[in-house]
Amino acid sequence: MSDPTRPPAVGVLDQGPAITFPPGFLWGAATAAYQIEGAATAGGRTPSIWDTFSHTEGRTVGGHTGDVACDHFHRMPDDVRLMAELGLKSYRFSVSWPRVQPGGSGAANAEGLDFYRRLVDELLGHGIEPWLTLYHWDLPQPLEDAGGWPARDTAARFADYAQLVADALGDRVRYWTTLNEPWCSAFLGYGSGAHAPGRTDGADAVRAGHHLMLGHGLAVQALRASRPDAQLGITVNLYPVTPATDSPADADAARRIDALANRFFLDPVLRGSYPADLQADLASVTDFGHVRDGDLEIISTPLDLVGINYYSRHVVAAPVEGEQPEAYWRAPTCWPGSEDVRFVTRGVPVTDMDWEIDAPGLVETLERVHRDYTDLPLYVTENGSAFVDTVVDGQVDDTDRLAYFDSHLRAAHAAIGAGVPLRGYFAWSLMDNFEWAWGYTKRFGMVYVDYDSQVRIPKSSARWYAEVIRRNGLAAQ
């Protein structure tokens, strides 16, 4: 619920910004291929794990699939025009691996690559900086059939694919993200099974996490060699993890979940090692025999930036006999070796995903990465919220989403004030789309999509964001 005592942010903006972001701050919005493109069989595209998963009964709400999604594949020029109208400085999109390299190996598919060439040209033509994510979860199905991310060879396949995309687009794309949220690919895909490919094996999830990072490191090396001027990074989804009470047992629960959610990725990529406590916690799950000599050097190949996706905070407590948490990322199977840790809700306002709204958590997260890990430029590559939207007289007044963006941008600004080199912010998402296992039942867009007619309606939050971008800042509260 929005706070009724809070002044209307749009109106207050008219008085001029009181909070200004650094010059050149990169204001953007993000999407992902499978969530918006549709055209699942067009131009030689073959199935990814998400096609298979969403077409399997009982995997997604309502049996929804990305077959059509926002039909962005066919409506791309109009969608880019909309981005230009909003004044976006940058657009973060992902390339569909099975569109540009059907089956996940062998030659490039010219028709698939051509779509991204046209997209990038369209963006550049409108003065919008393209930001390309190589992997936003759509592994070609044959690679899953050959073992998926728990299999080491998938990392090599990913580096080949990265090279192929760099060859085609490297001359016009400056910003590259290798992986989006490897935690989700590994622990939701192979641990809880809530995401494609829907497997449920803790050891496989840990192996998948390692091979995803190995693929990231190999891809960075390939991209660096062929495009020395590119800005290369990875995007991780991070959560502050807070103990429910100050008891030592709850503190230990928080330490464990922090290791699995955050340090599992931050330490190898930015320090070249796995945390010792993580390895000890996972002793009953895996002996880390899948980690070979030299892997961590590859995984920690230097980057130019770090992308952070921020949505919420985890509040956790020590196990209580007989009590188990339930669904989604709170599912015990997401957390190998720490299955019995409880995820606690605090009764604070939540979004339509039931995720607690916690803007200070963004400051904490950014400060932590900067303080504990790196001086590299940081970018919020995703941040946003789902709320139920209603169209009234052709308009969508999404006050709650607007307030969410507003509070998190204030948090981003506070982090900059505290010395964090935050260089940009990408709203999730440009438009409503296929929200994975939730299908089309959760709306994250700043632009409303009517899935029957494919009409797009910029919501109040989109108009507000356009104004924020135009002024490079926010009004005083």
Q: In the stretch 403-432, what mask flags binding to ligand FCB with x, by CB under 6 A?
A: -------------------------x----
When the beta carbons of 184 and 208 are compared against ligand FCB, the nearer one is 184
Please identify, using beta-carbon distances, which residue of 154 and 351 lies nearer to ligand FCB.
351
Verify binding: residue 237, ligand FCB, rule CB under 6 A.
yes
What angle do the packed helices 460-471 and 399-417 form, to 10 degrees?
30
Per CB under 6 A, 184 contacts ligand FCB = yes
Closest approach, Cβ 35 to ligand FCB, in A, equals 6
Residue selected from 79, 181, 204, 356 as contacting ligand FCB according to rule CB under 6 A? 181
Q: Which residues of 323-340 are buried (b: 16+ CB within 10 A; e: fewer)?
A: eebeebbbbbbbbbbbbb
Strand partners, 243: 316
DSSP state, residue 372: I
What is the closest distance, in whole angstroms, from the C-beta atom of residue 226 to ligand FCB in the complex? Answer: 27
Per-position DSSP letters for 377-414, written without gaps between them: -EEEEE--------EETTEE--HHHHHHHHHHHHHHHH
DSSP β-bridge partners for residue 27 = 425
Binding span for ligand FCB by CB under 6 A among 120-128, 180-188, 242-250, 464-472: 180-188
Of the candidates 119, 121, 97, which has an alpha carbon nearest to the alpha carbon of residue 108? 97
Out of 122, 144, 181, 435, which one is annotated catalytic? 181
- Would you count residue 49 as binding ligand FCB (CB under 6 A)? no
Q: Least distance to ligand FCB from the beta carbon of 324, Å?
A: 23
Q: Which of residues 295 and 435 has its CB atom nearest to ligand FCB in the complex?
A: 435
Q: Which of 364, 382, 435, 467 is catalytic?
A: 382
Residue 176 DSSP SS3: strand
Residues paired with residue 28 on neighbouring β-strands, in sequence order: 90, 426
Q: Is 250 in the site for ligand FCB (CB under 6 A)?
A: no
Q: Please say whether the dihedral angle defined by the alpha carbons of residues 425, 427, 428 and 430, taken in this order, is positive or negative.
A: negative
Least distance from C-beta 181 to ligand FCB, angstroms? Answer: 5
Is residue 212 a contact residue for ligand FCB (CB under 6 A)? no
Least distance (Å) between residue 442 CB and ligand FCB: 8
Smallest distance from ligand FCB to CB 378, Å: 17
Give yes or no for residue 32 binding ligand FCB (CB under 6 A).
yes
For 20, phi then psi, to 5°, come to -115, 140
Give the nearest distance from C-beta 2 to ligand FCB in angstroms: 20
Structure tokens belonging to residue 249 = 């047992």
Binding piece for ligand FCB, criterion CB under 6 A, among 176-184, 245-253, 445-453, 456-464: 176-184
Q: Is the CB of 288 or the CB of 328 nearer to ligand FCB?
A: 328
Pick one of 21, 329, 379, 436: the residue that binds ligand FCB (CB under 6 A).
Answer: 436
In degrees, rounded to 5, the angle at the alpha carbon of residue 291 between the alpha carbons of residues 288 and 296 is 125
Which span sits near ligand FCB by CB under 6 A: 117-125, 179-187, 356-364, 461-469? 179-187
| Min CB(216)–ligand FCB separation in Å | 15
CB-based burial label for 316 (10 Å; 0-12, 13-18, 19+):
buried
Question: Total number of residues binding ligand FCB (CB under 6 A)?
Answer: 12
- Catalytic, 382? Answer yes
DSSP-assigned letters across all residues of 118-152: HHHHHHHHTT-EEEEEEESS--BHHHHHTT-TTST
- Measured in whole angstroms, the distance separating CA 176 from the mean position of its chain's CA atoms is 14
Tell the burial category of 239 from Cβ atoms under 10 Å away from its Cβ (0-12, 13-18, 19+): buried
For residue 383, state whether it binds ligand FCB (rule: CB under 6 A): no
User: Do 294 and 222 touch, CB atoms closer than 8 A?
Assistant: no
Q: Partners of 133 in the beta sheet?
A: 94, 177
Q: How far apart are CA 314 and CA 394, in angstroms?
A: 37
From candidates 267, 295, 382, 406, binder to ligand FCB by CB under 6 A:
382
Residue 435, interface with ligand FCB (CB under 6 A)? yes
Interface with ligand FCB includes 53 (CB under 6 A)? no
Q: Whole-number minimum distance, CB 241 to ligand FCB, in Å?
A: 17
Cβ-based nearer residue to ligand FCB, 364 or 435: 435
The smaller minimum CB distance to ligand FCB, of residues 184 and 449, is found at 184
Specify the amino acid at residue 4: P
Cα dist from 283 to 206, 230, 337, whole Å? 11, 39, 8
Part of the chain binding ligand FCB (CB under 6 A), chosen from 177-185, 244-252, 334-342, 454-462: 177-185
CA-to-CA dists, residue 232 to 131, 164, 235, 371, 375, angstroms: 10, 16, 10, 21, 15
Task: Say if residues 409 and 465 touch (Cβ distance below 8 Å).
Answer: no
Out of 25, 27, 444, 464, which residue is the one contacting ligand FCB (CB under 6 A)?
444
Catalytic residues: 181, 382
Q: Which residues bind ligand FCB (CB under 6 A)?
A: 32, 35, 180-181, 184, 237, 309, 382, 428, 435-436, 444
